[in-house]
């Protein structure tokens, strides 16, 4: 795995570049990403390109032996462009234009902006496509960041209508599919359909789901326009995009199909603070991040681009954007780096090289402080580089467990949560975490993936379970765990004719007659476990495998399939993981709290996410080849995989 950093030559006097590049190489970095926000310097006035500075910056980096990942600057269209085309900005759900003065203000659907994005991409690709320093391209930057996937502009409305027309062909079909007879919402033509915002009360969930599908397709086609241009002018170079954490607003599997390498931006402390974690978890892992946050994303993004992936931005110290921004525990930056390495990343790049003393992110750490002295992260990057040099290349081994993850499922749960706390990402994360707590590796895969080689398959929920997916599950012989709400909706957001789980009834003879959601704090007890948030009434000839104390069934098993008709707590998840492991012959470890294991083809890595030492002798792995059997806080120990 290579190490790198995100660098902004346009932020620093040219006289500093050579010394920066020299220090990067000296620190063990070999890759540098540049350019993603540099449009106003590349093209300060319409059509007037200033390449000289960028030519020289790339040359300086190249001379220091660094590979360059060059970005298209389309996340930050400059002021002159917005002034020239004011309607290119996105419109938010309340109908307000998103103003100039930060970034990501464009609308994915604006044809004029699409032309401009293609034009600047083409200009860059023509100039640098065959430059020996350029080994990869990044399209744009973090599609969707700052809530920018959905736009409710006229441009989006126009393209939505065309999208609907292509999907349904005639408007009567759309009316029937959506159930528009309800509340007299029927349309006489596609031209009459608006985006689903600004309605008096909630719009039809089918309308919302199609708007989300459409918006996702807009991101896909926007990205593809760039990847096509880059491939034309820059053969042999990888094309990537840097995805975000805990983000499901567009279908990353679809975008990933157009990339060579999927990358993501890893900010474990910010994510812990901003997402659903409990106060206890936020305190326990304040300076480490929850032990599954980084791994969860490594495993998701490995599944988004045929296995090739990396970390494009790694938090090197405190960030600026969460509610609270603690400093990582000493050792964590190296630990996060080595965890990416153990999961098979091709590179990890730190964001950013030097902390900027100006503008929005002046409180965001870099590897260097604003005065160019080493910040804490620099020593950790060196430490990680040394470990990687010692341990050599890590090949990814196929994980025993597949977890099926689908962006459409996230949209369905978001469009109609039915209970406020039914959060798709959280449910998927909880099931993932339950498997990782027992030392098993997980591949997080799309519903389209080949599932035939896994020892166990977990589907936390898949509300729209198509017949093809049901048939794929039916062909499996391994244990399959299927979560609540699976098969509960049709393609067009209706309840299936024979009740949920719809198509999955072919493998799971149950019918869900009624569901209920429970307010925060309400839980129902089973024997040593509870369920909360969501519970289904199941009709079935099957005897339930797990029941609540009052006898109501929660888990049903039929052949190698299990259906879980509620939001399980960790104790129930643990019981279920133990069952499927037993049936599949998978060996579980009793990992101490906060310890995680990851196996590559050649090594076993252990990561201590706690702030105290952990003894690993009981795991029976023998003498480590790196680190200590007593793993210090925020430390990593590595064993050779027995041959």
Nearer to ligand GAL by Cβ, of 53 and 321: the residue is 321
Nearer to ligand GAL by Cβ, of 180 and 348: the residue is 348
Question: Cis omega before residue 352 (within 30°)?
Answer: yes
Nearer to ligand GAL by Cβ, of 140 and 430: the residue is 140
Q: Is 105 in the site for ligand GAL (CB under 6 A)?
A: no
Give buried/exposed letters for 398-436 (b at 16+ CB in 10 A, else e).
ebbbbbbbbbbbbbbbbbbeebebbbbbbbbbbbbbbbb
DSSP classification of residue 10: G
313 flagged as catalytic: yes
Nearer to ligand GAL by Cβ, of 245 and 483: the residue is 245
Q: Is 285 in the site for ligand GAL (CB under 6 A)?
A: no
Give buried/exposed letters for 437-471 (b at 16+ CB in 10 A, else e).
bbbbbbbbbbbebebeebbbbbbbbbbbbeeebbe
Q: Is 350 in the site for ligand GAL (CB under 6 A)?
A: no
Q: Smallest distance from the beta carbon of 128 to ligand GAL, in angstroms?
A: 21
Q: Pick the stretch among 111-119, 141-149, 297-305, 570-578 that binds ligand GAL (CB under 6 A).
A: 141-149
Report the site for ligand GAL in 48-87 (rule: CB under 6 A).
Answer: none
Q: Positive or negative CA dihedral for 204, 210, 211, 212?
A: positive
Nearer to ligand GAL by Cβ, of 145 and 171: the residue is 145
Q: Is 531 in the site for ligand GAL (CB under 6 A)?
A: no
Nearer to ligand GAL by Cβ, of 103 and 552: the residue is 103
Please state, in angstroms and rounded to a whole number, the distance separating the CA atoms of residues 315 and 337.
10
Q: Smallest distance from the beta carbon of 103 to ligand GAL, in angstroms?
A: 8
Give the x-and-dash track for 145-174 against ligand GAL (CB under 6 A): x-----------------------------
Query: Cα angle at 507 between 504 and 508, to 5 degrees?
Result: 75
Report the site for ligand GAL in 360-399 (rule: CB under 6 A).
Answer: 361, 364
Q: Is 265 in the site for ligand GAL (CB under 6 A)?
A: yes
Nearer to ligand GAL by Cβ, of 101 and 585: the residue is 101
Q: Is 313 in the site for ligand GAL (CB under 6 A)?
A: yes
Beta bridge partners of 238: 136
Question: Cis omega before residue 501 (within 30°)?
Answer: yes
List the catalytic residue out of 313, 346, 408, 430: 313
- DSSP 3-state assignment of 44? coil
Q: Are 292 and 429 in contact (CB under 8 A)?
A: yes
Q: Smallest distance from the beta carbon of 75 to ligand GAL, in angstroms?
A: 8
195 backbone dihedrals φ, ψ, rounded to 5°: -60, 160
Q: Pick the stretch among 121-129, 140-148, 392-400, 530-538 that binds ligand GAL (CB under 6 A).
A: 140-148
Q: Is 272 in the site for ligand GAL (CB under 6 A)?
A: no
Q: What's the residue count for the chain?
A: 643
Q: Smallest distance from the beta carbon of 314 to ligand GAL, in angstroms?
A: 10
Q: Are 367 and 381 in contact (CB under 8 A)?
A: yes
Q: Smallest distance from the beta carbon of 56 to ligand GAL, in angstroms?
A: 23
Residue 278 neighbours by CB under 8 Å, 6+ apart: none
Q: Is 319 in the site for ligand GAL (CB under 6 A)?
A: yes
DSSP classification of residue 202: P
Q: Pick the stretch among 138-146, 196-204, 462-470, 491-499 that binds ligand GAL (CB under 6 A).
A: 138-146
Residue 119 neighbours by CB under 8 Å, 6+ apart: none
Residue 508: both structure tokens together? 């799971």
Nearer to ligand GAL by Cβ, of 104 and 596: the residue is 104
Site residue total, ligand GAL (CB under 6 A):
11
Beta bridge partners of 263: 242, 310
Beta bridge partners of 23: none
List the catalytic residue out of 122, 142, 339, 536: 142
Q: Smallest distance from the beta carbon of 265 to ligand GAL, in angstroms?
A: 5
Q: Pick the stretch among 313-321, 499-507, 534-542, 544-552 that binds ligand GAL (CB under 6 A).
A: 313-321
Nearer to ligand GAL by Cβ, of 244 and 480: the residue is 244
Q: Pick the stretch among 137-145, 322-330, 386-394, 476-484 that binds ligand GAL (CB under 6 A).
A: 137-145
Q: Is 142 in the site for ligand GAL (CB under 6 A)?
A: yes
Q: Smallest distance from the beta carbon of 321 to ligand GAL, in angstroms?
A: 6
How many Å is the Cα radius of gyration of the chain?
25
Q: What share of the chain is helix, strand, coil (3-state, %, to 5)?
A: 35, 20, 45
Q: Is 263 in the site for ligand GAL (CB under 6 A)?
A: no
Q: Is 141 in the site for ligand GAL (CB under 6 A)?
A: yes
Contact residue for ligand GAL among 243, 351, 411, 563 (CB under 6 A): 351
Q: Smallest distance from the beta carbon of 61 to ligand GAL, in angstroms?
A: 19
Q: Smallest distance from the beta carbon of 178 to ligand GAL, in angstroms?
A: 35
Q: Are 441 and 305 in contact (CB under 8 A)?
A: no
Report the site for ligand GAL in 169-198 (rule: CB under 6 A).
Answer: none
Q: Are 58 and 68 in contact (CB under 8 A)?
A: yes
Helical (H) or strand (E) element with 563 = strand 561-564
Contact residue for ligand GAL among 264, 267, 285, 309 (CB under 6 A): 267
Query: Cα angle at 631 between 627 and 637, to 5 degrees?
Result: 35
Q: Smallest distance from the beta carbon of 342 to ligand GAL, in angstroms?
A: 23
Give buried/exposed letters for 571-600 (b at 16+ CB in 10 A, else e).
ebbbbbbebbbeebebeebebbebbbbbbb
- DSSP 3-state assignment of 566? strand
Q: Smallest distance from the beta carbon of 319 to ligand GAL, in angstroms?
A: 5
Nearer to ligand GAL by Cβ, of 318 and 500: the residue is 318
| β-bridge pairing 134-138 and 630-631 | unpaired
Please state, in angstroms and rounded to a whole number, the distance separating the CA atoms of residues 625 and 616.
14
142 flagged as catalytic: yes
Residue 458: both structure tokens together? 């977990």
Nearer to ligand GAL by Cβ, of 180 and 248: the residue is 248
Residues in contact with ligand GAL by CB under 6 A are 141-142, 145, 265, 267, 313, 319, 321, 351, 361, 364
Residues with catalytic function? 142, 313
């Amino acid at each position: 795995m290579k190490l790198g950093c995100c660098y902004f030559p346009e932020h620093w006097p040219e006289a500093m570049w050579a010394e920066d590049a020299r220090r990067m190489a000296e620190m063990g970095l070999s890759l540098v990403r540049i350019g993603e926000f540099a449009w106003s310097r590349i093209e300060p006035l319409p059509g007037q390109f200033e390449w000289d500075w960028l030519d020289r910056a790339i040359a300086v980096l190249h001379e220091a032996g660094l590979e360059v990942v060059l970005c298209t600057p389309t996340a930050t269209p400059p002021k002159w462009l917005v002034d020239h085309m004011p309607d290119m900005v996105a419109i938010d759900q309340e109908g307000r234009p998103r103003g100039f003065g930060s970034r990501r203000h464009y609308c994915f659907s604006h044809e004029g902006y699409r032309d401009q994005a293609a034009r600047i991409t083409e200009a860059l690709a023509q100039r640098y496509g065959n430059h020996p320093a350029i080994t990869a391209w990044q399209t744009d930057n973090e599609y969707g960041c700052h809530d920018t996937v959905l736009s409710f502009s006229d441009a989006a409305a126009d393209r939505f209508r065309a999208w609907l027309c292509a999907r349904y062909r005639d408007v009567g079909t759309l009316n029937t599919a959506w159930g528009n007879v309800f509340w007299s919402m029927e349309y006489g033509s596609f031209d009459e359909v608006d985006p689903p915002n600004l309605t008096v009360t909630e719009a039809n969930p089918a309308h919302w789901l199609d708007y989300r599908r459409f918006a996702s397709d807009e991101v896909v086609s926007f990205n593809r326009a760039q990847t096509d241009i880059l491939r034309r002018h820059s053969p042999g170079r990888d094309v990537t995009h840097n995805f975000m954490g805990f983000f499901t607003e567009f279908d990353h599997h679809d975008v990933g199909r157009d990339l060579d390498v999927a990358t993501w931006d890893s900010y474990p402390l910010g994510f812990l603070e901003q997402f659903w974690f409990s106060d206890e978890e936020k305190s326990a892992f304040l300076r480490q991040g929850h032990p599954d946050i980084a791994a969860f994303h490594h495993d998701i993004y490995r599944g988004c681009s045929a296995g090739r992936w990396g970390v494009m931005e790694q938090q090197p110290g405190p960030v600026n954007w969460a509610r609270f921004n603690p400093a990582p525990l000493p050792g964590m930056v190296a630990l996060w780096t080595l965890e990416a390495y153990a999961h098979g990343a091709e590179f990890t790049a730190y964001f950013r090289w030097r902390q900027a003393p100006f503008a929005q992110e002046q409180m965001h750490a870099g590897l260097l402080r604003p005065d160019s002295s080493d910040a804490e992260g620099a020593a950790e990057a060196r430490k990680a580089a040394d470990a990687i040099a010692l341990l050599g290349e890590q090949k990814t081994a196929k994980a025993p467990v597949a977890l099926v993850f689908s962006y459409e499922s996230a949209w369905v749960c978001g469009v109609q949560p039915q209970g406020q706390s039914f959060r798709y990402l959280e449910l998927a994360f909880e099931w993932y975490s339950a498997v990782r707590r027992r030392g098993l590796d997980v591949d997080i895969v799309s519903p389209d993936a080949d599932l035939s080689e896994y020892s166990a398959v977990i589907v936390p929920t898949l509300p729209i379970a198509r017949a093809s997916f049901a048939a794929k599950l039916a062909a499996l012989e391994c244990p399959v765990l299927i979560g609540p709400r699976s098969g509960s909706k049709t393609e067009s957001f209706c309840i299936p004719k024979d009740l949920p789980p719809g198509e999955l009834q072919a493998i799971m003879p149950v019918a869900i007659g009624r569901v209920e959601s429970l307010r925060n704090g309400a839980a129902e007890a089973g024997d040593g476990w509870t369920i909360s948030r969501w519970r289904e009434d199941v009709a079935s000839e099957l005897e339930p495998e797990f029941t609540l104390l009052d006898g109501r069934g929660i888990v049903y098993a039929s052949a190698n399939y299990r259906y879980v008709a509620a939001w399980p707590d960790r104790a129930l998840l643990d019981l279920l993981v133990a069952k499927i492991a037993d049936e599949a012959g998978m060996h579980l470890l009793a990992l101490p709290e906060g310890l995680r294991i990851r196996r590559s083809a050649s090594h076993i890595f252990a990561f201590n996410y706690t702030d105290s030492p952990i003894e690993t002798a009981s795991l029976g792995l023998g003498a480590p080849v790196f680190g200590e059997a007593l793993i210090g806080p925020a430390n990593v120990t590595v064993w050779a995989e027995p041959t």
